[in-house]
């Protein structure tokens, strides 16, 4: 059972907790951390996208943030961001490497695997400079099926025109200062 803090619209815990599946069944607001891995190339900035496992409870098989995850009750945004990098991609980083882009509120209602899914999350968005090749990463296969580098401008375009399966908000990509 994964317990999450119930939070206000600013991501501040209210003192209540909720089980993750209940939060998604009822649309109860909770926190997530999102980390975008970036690298510089002569053509510009590239962003690492993860393709979500086909077994994920939401948005299976879709391209997503480099690393993201729900924040367990009592854990802060930064610690969660660093933990998700280790778990999902096998990468280590220090909190000083995280660049804070701010908070974004994400709300959606969908159906996955035949069940309703109501998401209401306050996400802290970070970026980190990390020039690593996909074959050197240790992917958590239950979460991530593959990772790819893509020029940031192309990613923005493909998210806006929906030319790839994704669960990325254009507004979140716009938070990256490049």
Q: Is residue 71 part of a domain?
A: yes
For the chain, the average pLDDT equals 96
pLDDT band at 134 (very low <50, low <70, confident <90, very high): very high
Structure tokens at 135: 């074959």
Structural domain boundaries enclosing 83: 3-173
pLDDT band at 106 (very low <50, low <70, confident <90, very high): very high
User: 47 or 111, which is more confident?
Assistant: 47
Q: The domain that contains 37 carries what CATH number?
A: 3.90.79.10
Q: Is residue 113 part of a domain?
A: yes
Q: Is residue 99 part of a domain?
A: yes
What value, to the nearest 5°, has the Cα angle with vertex 56 and ends 120 and 48?
A: 85
Q: Is residue 178 part of a domain?
A: no
pLDDT digits (tens, 9 = 90+) for 20-30: 999 999 999 99
pLDDT at 117: 86
CA gap 38, 32 in Å, rounded = 20
Q: Is residue 154 part of a domain?
A: yes
State how beta strands 99-112 and 3-7 pair: unpaired
Backbone angles phi, psi at 11, to 5 degrees: 80, 15
pLDDT at 112: 79
Least confident of 10-14, 74-78, 87-91, 110-114: 110-114
State how beta strands 67-70 and 144-151 pair: unpaired
Please answer whether residues 152 and 36 qualify as being in contact, where contact means their C-beta atoms are separated by less than 8 angstroms.
no
- For the chain, the straight-line distance linking the first and the last C-alpha, in angstroms and rounded, comes to 39
Q: How many domains does the chain fold into?
A: 1
Structure tokens at 103: 């908070």
pLDDT at 131 over 80: yes
């Amino acid at each position: 059972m994964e317990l999450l803090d119930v939070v206000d619209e600013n991501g501040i815990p209210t003192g209540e907790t909720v089980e993750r599946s209940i939060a998604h069944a009822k649309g109860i607001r909770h926190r997530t951390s999102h980390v975008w891995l970036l690298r510089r190339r002569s053509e510009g900035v590239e962003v690492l996208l993860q393709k979500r496992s086909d077994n994920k409870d939401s948005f299976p098989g879709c391209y997503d943030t480099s690393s993201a995850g729900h924040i367990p009750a009592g854990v802060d945004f930064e610690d969660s961001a660093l933990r998700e990098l280790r778990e999902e991609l096998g990468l280590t980083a220090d909190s000083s490497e995280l660049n804070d882009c701010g908070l974004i509120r994400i709300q959606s209602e969908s159906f996955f695997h035949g069940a309703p899914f109501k998401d209401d999350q306050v996400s802290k968005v970070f970026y980190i400079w990390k020039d690593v090749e996909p074959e050197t990463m240790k992917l958590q296969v239950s979460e991530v099926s593959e990772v790819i580098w893509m020029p940031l401008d192309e990613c923005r375009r493909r998210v806006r025109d929906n030319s790839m399966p994704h669960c990325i908000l254009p507004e979140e990509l716009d938070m990256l200062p490049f």
